[in-house]
Amino acid sequence: MFKILEYDIEKYQFINQTKEIFQVDELSKIHITRPELFPDFELSFKNEVHTDFHKTFYDFINDENKNKEILKTYEDFIEEVVSSNFDESFCYQKFPSFRIHLPGKKAIHKWHFDNDDDHRHPEWEINFQISLTKMSDTQAMWIESIPGLKDFSPLNLEEGQFAIFDGNRCLHGNKPNTTDEARLSLDFRVIPISKYHPEKARSSATQGNKFVIGGYYKLWEKSNV
């Protein structure tokens, strides 16, 4: 099952910062205001993260002259929000994965669980998804409640909400977006330090980053005070 929680969009300004990255006033209409970024090729499992929307976002994130504000927001979110859900130190994804679910398209094309052989994430990871737009029904990610049950339901979120779910073991994916609005989100993963085994780590399928601290992960340490 997944858990849905609220976050303060005024304090953690992921939405406004993403608007600034794309130079748009409304993220759900990004495909209309930035049509030059709309993919002119058929999306599939192999190229779904290689659109010009993704390139624009990650070029900004990787530019040290531009990224300081949104990176600080993420680090504050980890320190002040995510950490409250753990009673021990943990490893977390260096920066979230950018997701965009365009009208008539899918965001993720292959139904999967993150520990499968295509994605190669380590066991015990916990998934987080931050909504940047409303996401519901065919805009949303669909996930089973228990591994293997295949009772899929949408993870419906409003702006100012985030979800915690077991994408590591539960099958999940997308349906074609039948609405006229885009869905944008930031997704990241956390693993408790007690479950972190770098000697077993593989590398991510998309970027080839090894699932270790200093590679895919950063470390958040719980104070003993």
Q: What is the pLDDT of residues 16-39, one digit of tens each?
A: 999 999 999 999 999 999 999 999
- Residue pLDDT, tens place only, 132-165: 999 999 999 999 999 999 999 999 999 999 999 9
Give the C-alpha separation, 202 to 216, whole Å. 10
pLDDT level of residue 105 (50, 70, 90 thresholds): very high
| Model pLDDT for residues 160-187, shown as the tens digit of each residue | 999 999 999 999 999 999 999 999 999 9
> What is the DSSP pairing of strand 141-143 with strand 172-174?
antiparallel
Cβ–Cβ < 8 Å for 209, 201: no
Q: Which residue matches tokens 């999940």?
A: 172
Token pair 């139904």 in the structure block, residue = 111
SS3 76: helix
pLDDT grade for 206, boundaries at 50, 70 and 90: confident
Per-residue pLDDT at 225: 46
Which architecture, in CATH terms, is 3-220? Sandwich (2.60)
Work out the average pLDDT over 120-141.
96
pLDDT number for residue 207: 74
* Residues 158, 161: Cα–Cα separation, whole Å: 6
Position 126 scores a pLDDT of 97
Please answer whether residues 140 and 154 qualify as being in contact, where contact means their C-beta atoms are separated by less than 8 angstroms: yes
Q: Give the pLDDT mean for 205-218.
A: 88
Global pTM exceeds 0.85: yes
Whole-number Å distance between alpha carbons of 89 and 223:
8
Q: Which amino acid is at 78?
A: I
**Quick one: pLDDT at residue 188?**
98
Query: Is residue 140 a contact partner of residue 109, using CB atoms and an 8 Å limit?
Result: no
B/e letters for 3-33, b = 16+ CB within 10 Å, e = fewer, are: eeeebebeebebbbbbbebbebeebbebbee
Query: Among all chains, which residue has been given the structure tokens 């209409």?
Result: 29
